Amino acid sequence: MEHRIRDLQEKSCSLETTPEEQRKINKAGTNFSENFYSSLQSQKAYQKHDSKTVQEILEESLSEEGEDINKVLGFVESKVLSRGLNPASGNHFGYIPGGGLFTSAAGDYIAAVTNRYAGVFFASPGAVAVENRLIQWMAEMIGYPKEAGGYLSSGGSMANLTAVHAAREKAGFKASDISNTVVYLSEQTHHCVERALKICGLSECKIRFVPLDQKFRMKTDELEKTINEDKSNGLNPWLIVASAGTTDLGAIDPLEEIGNIAHRQKIWYHVDAAYGGFFLLTEEGKEKLKGISMADSVVLDPHKGLFLPYGSGALVVKNVDHLIKAYHFEANYMQDAAAERSLYSPAEVSPELSKHFRGLRLWFPLKLHGIQAFRSALQEKLLLTRYAWEKLKEVEDIEVSPEPELTTFTFRWKPTWNLQNVDQVNRELHQSILEEGKVFLSTTQIKGKFWFRLTVLSVRTHLEETDRFLKILHRNMEKIESEMKQ
């Protein structure tokens, strides 16, 4: 047996890398990232997928023998990364871009190399303390008391899901009560909230879509009226979800007024600030998000407002006990962990157990750049958005949505020469911009009509990129006009 073990050891040892091999891989990685960043401006912001490349990836052999790093990186570069959106590009104006900071990638690298077990305090008190510290920083930003706590998730959807379950546990209603339980959302609430309700087995709750005002914000008088009606009909109002920056339009629900209603009516108040939350770092954002501290729970997305690479969301709860009550579990094989504990652990406040040391990808950028850099970048994006909005508003046959609250707005082309087919003209304009691929912007439907959405939130979008976008838009409008008039 020993002989056989020795034999296997020899083979399995190739999983370990020698210092020379590590240096080679690091060097290839460094070369790759340097080339990547220095060529970003000339890289496309979007390129449609081609089925041939997808098929090649699906058929790529995973052979018994290992390959060289340069060959593997070459494949990733040419096949894996070449198509689709380029969210690292400053010319990405679609959905809600963030860009992705190199310093965050560096944090991920160290986290993975050292492989600390960030799920429980006993295993890595340092990692857990870092994550607690980051949550505390966000809690202070929101204006929460010291009882606040939370969880660094993989994104906003997971953070919202984690909150919905905690709110349900706090309310403590039974399965037989579900159909009498009421949730208050708006048509603009992110779809992940309804999905979270479904995942939690709560799809039979009554969902009230509170009517919106001209600026797509919840009408608070309607909200309270509906709650009172529901109460007098013997129903159980349980959860209000307000948006602090709707994904589509950046509209901010009246957070303070909704907070007053929620307190008066004793309803769990959740604010989905996945998009808008980090604007709290700016004076303007602080003013606009006033009242957010009244929420029982808040979701923020560092991979949006703090420009992190994808994989970072956050849930902050006013009283961390609600999270612990909802998620804490004990198990025989966890007895060492339970015995030694001075901070709450991610595993006690979320559905995760073994977990990546996610905190370091946020800790690195905050420590290395300092908070001021983030404040400036966020204020810059607010101004750039208003700049683009004003420029487009001046264009005679472009219709724009009301002045942007945050960094997103919608617009559409209404060419006087073809007012019968406005949607079609805009679709063609969008296709034409996508085919060129130099900038990317997404579209949406508002009241059944086709609109462009412009969002400025990539860390790499500056004045040059914004002007470039405007130029490309105009050039494509001229092109479509001459094609369609023929």
Ligand X SMILES: *Cc1c(COP(=O)(O)O)cnc(C)c1O
CB of 304 to ligand X, least distance (A): 6
Question: Which run of H or E residues covers position 236?
Answer: strand 236-243
Segment interacting with ligand X (CB under 6 A) among 134-142, 152-160, 202-210, 373-381: 152-160
Question: If binding is defined by CB under 6 A, does position 194 make contact with ligand X?
Answer: no
98 part of the interface to ligand X, by CB under 6 A: no
Examine residue 157 and tell whether it contacts ligand X (CB under 6 A): yes
- The vertex-153 CA angle with 109 and 105, nearest 5°, equals 20
Binds ligand X (CB under 6 A): choice among 243, 345, 401, 476: 243
Sign of the alpha-carbon dihedral angle for 257, 262, 265, 266: negative
By C-alpha distance, which of 193, 190, 189 is closest to 210? 189
CA pair distance 216, 442, nearest whole angstrom: 19
Part in contact with ligand X (CB under 6 A); list of ranges 19-27, 156-164, 329-337, 378-386: 156-164
Distance CA 105, CA 83 (A): 21
Q: Does 274 bind ligand X (CB under 6 A)?
A: yes
- Give the span between the Cα atoms of 299 and 156, in whole angstroms: 6
Least Cβ distance, residue 363 to ligand X (angstroms): 19
Shortest distance, CB of residue 153 to ligand X, whole angstroms?
8
Per CB under 6 A, the segment of 62-70, 223-231, 267-275, 318-326 that binds ligand X is: 267-275
Local structure of residue 375 (DSSP, 8 states): H
CB of 189 to ligand X, least distance (A): 8
Closest CA to 306 of 384, 370, 383: 370
356 binds ligand X (CB under 6 A): no
Among 275, 278, 307, 374, binds ligand X (CB under 6 A): 275
Instruction: Candidates 151-159, 252-260, 341-349, 429-437: pick the segment binding ligand X (CB under 6 A).
Output: 151-159
44 φ/ψ angles, rounded to the nearest 5 degrees = -70, 150
Which of 230, 272, 296, 352 is close enough to bind ligand X by CB under 6 A?
Answer: 272
Tell me whether residue 242 or residue 323 sits nearer to ligand X (CB atom).
242
Q: Report CA Rg, the chain.
A: 25
Residue closer to ligand X (CB basis): 116 or 356:
356
Under the criterion CB under 6 A, does residue 156 sit at the interface with ligand X? Answer: yes
Token pair in block for residue 462: 């500056």
Distance between CA atoms of residues 150 and 168, nearest Å: 16
Q: How far is the CB of 63 from ligand X (least distance, A)?
A: 35
Closer to ligand X at the Cβ: 120 or 251?
251
Distant-in-sequence, close-in-space partners of 190: CB < 8 Å, separation ≥ 6: 156, 160, 243, 246, 247, 272, 274
CB 356 to ligand X: min, Å: 16
- Residue 154 Cβ vs ligand X, minimum distance, rounded to whole Å: 8
Cβ distance to ligand X smaller for residue 223 or 251: 251
* DSSP for residue 478: H
- Residue 86's Cβ-side half-sphere holds a number of Cα atoms within 13 Å equal to 25
Q: Which of 139, 163, 192, 242 binds ligand X (CB under 6 A)?
A: 192
Pair of tokens at residue 441: 């912007």
305 touching ligand X, by CB under 6 A: no
Q: How far is CA 206 from CA 185, 188, 193, 239, in A?
A: 11, 17, 14, 11
CA dist 207 and 109 (Å) reads 43
Nearer to ligand X, 160 or 466 (CB): 160
Q: Which of 92, 165, 190, 355 binds ligand X (CB under 6 A)?
A: 190
Positions touching ligand X (CB under 6 A) are: 96, 155-157, 160, 190, 192, 243, 247, 272, 274-275, 301, 313
